[in-house]
Amino acid sequence: MTATATTDTRVPVTVLTGFLGSGKTTLLNRILTEQHGQRIAVIENEYGEVGIDDALVYDSDEEIFEMNNGCICCTVRGDLIRILGTLMKRPDPFDRIVIETTGLADPAPVAQTFFVDDELRAQLRLDAIITMVDARHILEHLDEVKPEGVENEAVEQVAFADRLVLNKTDLVDRDELETVVTRLRGVNAMADILPAQHADVDLAGVLDVGAFALDRVLETDPTFLTQTDHQHDLTVGSVGIETEGAIDVDKLNDWLGKMLGQRGQDIFRSKGILNINGMDNQYVFQAVHMLFDGDEGRPWAEGEPRLNRMVFIGRNLDRDELTEEFNACLVGAGQ
């Protein structure tokens, strides 16, 4: 713990960012379930039409505020300021706040919030920007050529990090890992790099680190405190699917394997809570490009609608095609 963290009485705020599927929710769950005895407010920002992340975050005593269907650095930034203002007016104060951004967010405008609003600045302290990095896929995201005038969000997230959690190191060999570290250093030579598997890092390295230094940011970006427009790559979008019915697991596996194998490069992230036929618990599905995994989640509550909720985030997605293919996985479909 640094001197900044111990002498500043304002509530520390951690901004947790990183490209889609890098492991942000996994690290967030670690923070929430650690025996730290603190009250933590979590603000989540999902980029999509169907809320999924709230179902992926473990039950805890902390309070979670979700902002759906908008980027935290664009359309819902006003919501962020209002939520933070409401939190600070509560009679039972929080010990810290964690903001988990969507994977398509530029963290700079989020950090700006704590410097351009005088009331928030007096009560809150931006402790650090923590960027999760997917060791397996980060190079292709850093190398992606964007349309003219459109930011590369992966580059922005690495550039503004105070700490880089280099996650999924078990998915690359030593040479690949060295290449990734070199590239990260080329974008951000100042940030500490914390290697990790399954976001298993010492939380002392990401919380109460007093790492965010406005003067350092202004040295590298003199326009940091100037409001600027933020334009996303318009070819990147989200398709949300929500439907009733039971899923035939064999049909699902066949479709996912074929679909992600053929179109996985353009599908950055996919995740879902599914009602698998014959399974008493929810089925939690997550994928990053062609890599996908699933496991049983919590039991369906009594009287709870067994809705299938899927979200795909990627480039040039065909909504009708994805919806039709997903519905074909339902029990009885096509009969």
- Rounded CA separation 278/289 (Å): 28
Q: Kindly report, as residue ranges, where domains of CATH 3.30.1220.10 are found in the chain.
A: 236-327
Q: What is the pLDDT of residue 52?
A: 41
- Give the 3-state DSSP-derived string for 165-214, with helices as H, strands as E and coil as C: EEECHHHCCHHHHHHHHHHHHHHCCCCEEEECCCCCCCHHHCCCCCCCCH
The DSSP output letter for 80 is H
Q: Kindly report, as residue ranges, where domains of CATH 3.40.50.300 are found in the chain.
A: 3-220
Q: What is the pLDDT of residue 268?
A: 67
Q: What is the pLDDT of residue 44?
A: 77
Q: Judge contact between 104 and 69, C-beta under 8 A.
A: no
pTM equals 0.66
- Rounded CA separation 297/282 (Å): 5
Q: What is the pLDDT of residue 333?
A: 80
The residue ranges of the chain whose pLDDT is under 50 are: 1-6, 47-54, 56-64, 66-76, 225, 227-228, 230-232
Cα 230–Cα 232–Cα 238 angle in degrees, nearest 5: 135
- Write out the CATH class of domain 236-327: alpha beta
Q: Which fold has domain 3-220?
A: Rossmann fold (3.40.50)
Q: Judge contact between 302 and 295, C-beta under 8 A.
A: no
